[in-house]
Structure 1
Amino acid sequence: MSTGPAGHVARSTVRSHSETRRSTPIRTFLHTTDGVTIDSVYDPGGVVYDASPPPAGDLVFVIAHGFTGEVDRPHVRRVVRAFTQYGAVVSFSFRGHGASGGRSTVGDREVLDLAAAVQWARSHGHARVVTVGFSMGGSVVLRHAALYGARHGGRTEARAEAHTDAVVSVSAPARWYYRGTAPMRRLHWLVTRPEGRLVGRYGFRTRIHHREWNPVPLSPVEAVPRIAPTPLLIVHGELDGYFPVDHPRMLAAAAGDHGELWLEPGMGHAEHAADDGLLGRIGDWAVGQAG
């Protein structure tokens, strides 16, 4: 991977197809519109295209990890490796996670992190972007698609470059402030209590913002109806210990005819529970949307 010297922050720039169609990963720090640096990796993938520029179906996946994840975590790298069989992959650490700057807002301003990653993915010459999010990242890809999608009026050029062409949300909540399971009660303690934030910082390498949301961001279930006509896949485990199956059913009902719901028997929560078979089916779904 190519990196700058310690402490250096490299700005991503739009390069020609010939410069970016390389075989080795690229690592850099992106800059969000609110000035946060985001540790990001571009993996060119195992799919080889002879055409230059790449054909219209050329895919790049942008992976949005769950809370307390980061780009170098083994479970995130496993997801990246699975999707490189279908296209290029951009992965990154959300703000407050790993080497990225800022503090986590637990799904609010993380939309800006994803937008920066999608823009960077497009700068490599890819015509089709599929965002895939897990848990917190699953809520972020839904809100991002609603805010940067085709139905968003008055888009600037930068917003247009940050849009996605298909969305996959895995193990996402439908509504905010859910505390109906023991794991979610523990997570709320981690986020809302000073001692919990210390555990997050030193135990999980996750720096959590101390301020409450103001205003409260658009909830996932409110975002979903605004995503159409962008293709949407909702994936959820029937044994998810964080969010029971009423969450994906609420999301699917809000999506109506333009969304697809996969309820996975025996599956738990997020990246750790998504086996290679499921990731392969998601990859096949994404290729089908790009066709």
Structure 2
Amino acid sequence: MDAVAKGLTRNTGGARPWGAPAEALLITADGVRIHAVHRPADGSADGVPAVVTGVAAPSLAVVVAHGFTGAVERPALRRAAEVLARHAGVVTFSFRGHGRSEGRSTVGDREVLDLEAAIDWARSLGYPRVATVGFSMGGAVAVRHAALYPGVESVAAVSAPARWYYRGTVPMRRLHWVVMKPLGRVVGRLGLRTRIDPQEWTDVPVPPVEAAAVLGERGVPLLVVHGDSDPYFPLDHPRSLYRAAAAASGVSELWIEEGFGHAENAADEALIERVGEWLTRGL
């Protein structure tokens, strides 16, 4: 599948990972147009080939999946991309219903198709290998995607839930109100700039904890990162994800970060730097 909507790309150059930063609208498998941005790795930007600069052309792209209500334009996601670009080429995108992407958010269900379109685009730019990092909802999507679509090198899930329908904290009860209630969806659209699908799931997606077990069975490295001050999901969520993956493989890791809150908005430069190092180690 050609993930790039023809006529809607800019600065893609000759499909080289060291090309100038590119922006595109991607077509998902179910026909939704997704806004995506490519940032070359530092040292290979400005369209200058690595053979000229003497910098090795990056072989890995990190595709970043934001949390619910995030978007390509949000400062937290742009900061994460800037830090990760020290280690690899970076593709960011807005999930359906977010930012300049079309469609409506299904809060973790069909978003796997958005991530697959972004990965497909990264490969079309010339990257032979792709890793993913997801925050909160994006972390759950990244874990599920890797279980459904083999071929991702590694996955980092930051502040991700282990199971669906969790309402054990006040922020998650508020989030369920936004997603499930008509007035809540109005608040989501006007206040949070997120367009939410009013239809409930007909088939409940495989829970992230079960998808993590599939990654373990396949030997796909999974990094689970969570804060001990996360207001949304308590520590049994990251521990469940890690145990599910580690039970079948020894290549997964669990980081419980002291004082860390939730997702990309709370992740500082030092933490994202460490995640970038983990994703690219051994490459």
Match 2:208 to one of 205, 220, 233: 220
Q: Give the structure 2 partner of residue 34 of structure 1.
A: 30
Amino acid at match of 1:168: A
| C-alpha displacement of 1:21 | 4.1
Corresponding residue of 2:227: 237
Aligned residues of 1:38 and 1:100 also touching (Cα < 8 A): yes
- Identity among equivalent positions (%) equals 54
C-alpha distance in 2 between matches for 1:57 and 1:20: 10
Gaps of 5+ in 2: none
Q: Distance in 1 between matches of 2:92 and 2:128?
A: 17
Residues 100-249 of structure 1 mapped to structure 2, 5 A cutoff: 100-149=101-150, 163-227=151-215, 228-249=218-239
**For 1:37 and 1:10, how far apart are their aligned partners in 2?**
13
Structure 2 SS opposite 1:46 = coil
Q: TM-score, normalised by structure 1?
A: 0.87
| 8 Å contact from structure 2 (residues 17, 57) kept in 1 | no
Q: Is the 8 A contact 1:135 1:173 kept in 2?
A: yes
**Which structure 1 residue ranges, 5 or more long, are not aligned?**
1-7, 150-162
Secondary structure of 1:258's match?
A: coil
Tell me if structure 2 keeps the 8 A contact 1:10–1:30. Answer: no
Paired position in structure 2 for 1:271: 264
Change (3 A) 1:10 1:221: farther
CA contact under 8 A between 1:47 and 1:87: conserved in structure 2? no
Q: Deviations along 1:54-87, whole A, 9 cap, x unmatched?
A: 9796221100000000100011101111111111
- Find the counterpart in structure 2 of residue 82 from structure 1: 83
| CA distances 1:231-265 after superposition (whole Å, capped 9, x unpaired) | 11110001100000000000011011232111111
Q: Does 1:73 align with 2:74?
A: yes
**Structure 2: distance between partners of 1:28 and 1:10:** 9
1:223 counterpart letter in structure 2: A
Distance 1:172 1:19, change over 3 A: closer
Give the RMSD, CA atoms, in angstroms.
2.1
Distance 1:24 1:56, change over 3 A: closer
User: Partner amino acid for 1:195?
Assistant: L
Q: Quote the Cα distance in structure 1 between the aligned partners of 2:58 and 2:27.
A: 28
Name the SS for the 2:271 alignment partner.
helix
The answer to whether the 8 Å contact 1:56/1:128 transfers is no
Q: Residues 9 and 207 of structure 1: is their aligned pair in 2 closer, same or farther, counting only changes over 3 Å?
A: farther
1:10·1:28 contact (CA, 8 Å) conserved in 2?
A: no
Paired residue type of 1:287: T
Q: Which runs of 4+ in 1 moved over 6 A?
A: 54-57
| Contact in 2 for aligned 1:56/1:127 (Cα 8 Å) | no
Partner of 2:41: 45
Letter in 2 for 1:241: P
C-alpha contact (below 8 Å) 1:61/1:83 kept by paired residues: yes
Answer whether contact 1:166 1:286 (CA < 8 A) is retained.
yes
Report how many aligned residue pairs link the two structures.
Answer: 267
Cα distance between partner residues in 1 of 2:223 and 2:65: 15
Judge conservation of contact 2:17–2:58 (CA < 8 Å) in 1: no
* 8 A contact 1:93–1:100 mirrored in 2: yes
